């Protein structure tokens, strides 16, 4: 049985990112793998031995609650330390970083990725597309990554983190204001650090990026992307054709 942890859907479930867990489950089931989603709500302990974890987007106040709970509970941190694959989307990315800005000031993050989030000059809303940079476990990705970004946060990566992609459309992690002390950070999207992959792509990201979904599944199953049986799904191909340019 493959288990997918859906982390805090009650506070980080505003943007339909729980669809990422559904995509993982469906792609696994289509390959004949018995798979279940385990939703873990605010206040509940995060089991550390699930096969893969999805952390979604949310509003600023919800992020503060999520960060406090995940730090105090420690289950997701132990899962990351054990090399379990984790996907973080938008607010999920910010919460998994070292700190982020909220209305109450700078808030401590869970610290799974070397990334801090300040503020953009203006909210980034619209299609975002990038080419995978091939960092770490994402080395096998070669298809353009596409999604829809909607954030005010500007994320700056530290030396332990690498970007997921180079932006070809949209804003990505930061604009020039957010990166005023590190201009080289403009034009990149997402974060890869160990087995943690984070992105600003909503969509949900895995519906629009089946290769990324299969990479996470492969990690969850302890195999490689190349070894997964390919799936030919016409509606996914159609969606990518509409959204990739
Ligand atoms: N509240 C965060 C921001 O605006 C994240 C929003 C989101 O998850 N879409 O940056």
Q: Does ligand 1 have an atom closer than 6 angstroms to the CB of 58?
A: yes
Cα separation values, 190 from 63, 138, 166, 245, Å: 18, 11, 9, 19
Please report which confidence band the pLDDT of residue 98 belongs to, taking 50, 70 and 90 as the band edges.
very high
What number does the ligand 1 atom closest to the CA of 153 have? 10
Residue 40 near residue 74 (C-beta atoms within 8 A)? no
Please report which confidence band the pLDDT of residue 244 belongs to, taking 50, 70 and 90 as the band edges.
confident
The position carrying tokens 């420690």 is 74
**Do the annotations mark residue 25 as ligand-binding?**
no
Is a pLDDT exceeding 80 seen at residue 107? Answer: yes
143 CA → ligand 1 middle, Å: 25
Quote the pTM value: 0.97
What number does the ligand 1 atom closest to the CA of 89 have? 8
Q: Residue 241 CA to chain centroid, in angstroms?
A: 22
* pLDDT, position 7: 98
- How far, in Å, CA of 192 to CA of 202, rounded? 17
Where b means 16+ CB within 10 Å and e means fewer, 125-143 reads eeebbbbbbebebbeebee
Is a pLDDT exceeding 80 seen at residue 245? Answer: no
Please report which confidence band the pLDDT of residue 174 belongs to, taking 50, 70 and 90 as the band edges.
very high
| Residue 76, SS3 per DSSP | helix
Write the CATH number of the domain with boundaries 2-243. Answer: 3.40.50.880
Is a pLDDT exceeding 80 seen at residue 156? Answer: yes
β 99-102/115-132 pair status: parallel
């Amino acid at each position: 049985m493959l288990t997918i942890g859906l982390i805090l859907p009650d506070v980080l479930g505003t943007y339909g990112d729980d669809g990422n867990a559904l995509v993982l489950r469906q792609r696994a089931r289509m390959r004949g793998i018995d798979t279940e989603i385990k939703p873990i709500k605010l206040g509940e302990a995060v089991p550390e031995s699930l096969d893969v974890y999805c952390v979604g987007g949310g509003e600023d106040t919800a992020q503060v609650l999520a960060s406090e709970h995940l730090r105090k509970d420690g289950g997701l941190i132990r899962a990351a330390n054990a090399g379990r694959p984790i996907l973080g989307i938008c607010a999920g990315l910010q919460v998994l970083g070292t700190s982020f800005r909220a209305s109450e000031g700078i808030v401590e993050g869970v610290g799974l990725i070397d990334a801090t989030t300040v503020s953009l000059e203006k909210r980034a809303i619209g299609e975002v597309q990038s080419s995978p940079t091939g960092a770490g476990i994402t080395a096998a990705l070669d298809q353009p990554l596409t999604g829809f970004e909607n954030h005010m946060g500007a994320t700056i990566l530290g030396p332990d983190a690498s970007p997921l992609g180079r932006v070809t459309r949209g804003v990505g992690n930061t604009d020039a204001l957010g990166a005023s002390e590190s201009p080289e950070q403009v034009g990149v999207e997402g974060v890869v650090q160990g087995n943690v992959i984070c992105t600003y792509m909503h969509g949900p990201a895995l519906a629009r990026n089946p290769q990324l979904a299969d990479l996470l599944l492969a990690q969850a199953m302890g195999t490689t992307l190349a070894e997964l049986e390919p799936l030919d799904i016409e509606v996914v191909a159609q969606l990518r054709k509409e959204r990739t340019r």
